[in-house]
Amino acid sequence: MAATFERIERVNNDNVFSTMDENLSAPGATEPVRLNRGDVVVQLAGTGTVTAVIERATRDPNSDPNWAPADTGEVTGDLADGLPVMLFSEPTLGWWRVRVTACSGTVQVHISGESA
């Protein structure tokens, strides 16, 4: 499934949020989403098992990407059991993606945060 992007404007607030949803059924990376400083939420759901890395880049991935893990570890688990929602902090401006290194079944990826 191709990634779907949505911009959400909050009423009575100047914040605009972006969300990205994509399904992966084989190893690979999601489309990147550009987010501004603030909280970044990543959720993995679906069926089967997954091993994935949450990645962040400070340079535009369309020209000169510098992808690196957003934290120090891989996310591994059985999606049927439910994985915890992951919260990160974007200090400035960055591109975010999930790189699935192994999976069985379909991994539903959701990334959201303040729009850049």
Q: Using CA atoms, how far apart are residues 90 and 113, in angstroms rounded to an integer?
A: 9
Task: Name the amino acid, one letter, at 71.
Answer: D
Whole-angstrom CA distances from 102 to 22, 66, 76 are: 16, 22, 9
Q: Domain containing 66: what range? A: 4-115
Q: Using CA atoms, how far apart are residues 44 and 47, in angstroms rounded to an integer?
A: 10
Domain total of the chain: 1
Q: Using CA atoms, how far apart are residues 100 and 82, in angstroms rounded to an integer?
A: 16
pLDDT at 93 over 80: yes
| Residue labelled with tokens 């690979």 | 28
The pTM for the full model equals 0.88
Give the number of C-alpha atoms closer than 13 A to the C-alpha of residue 80, restricted to the C-beta side.
5
Q: Using CA atoms, how far apart are residues 33 and 74, in angstroms rounded to an integer?
A: 20
Q: Which residues pair with 13 in a beta bridge?
A: none
15: exposed, middle or buried (C-beta count within 10 Å: 0-12, 13-18, 19+)? Answer: exposed
Tell me the pLDDT tens digit for each residue of 40-49.
Answer: 999 999 999 9
CATH number of the domain to which 92 belongs: 2.60.120
Tell me the pLDDT tens digit for each residue of 50-90.
Answer: 999 999 999 999 998 999 999 878 999 999 999 999 999 99
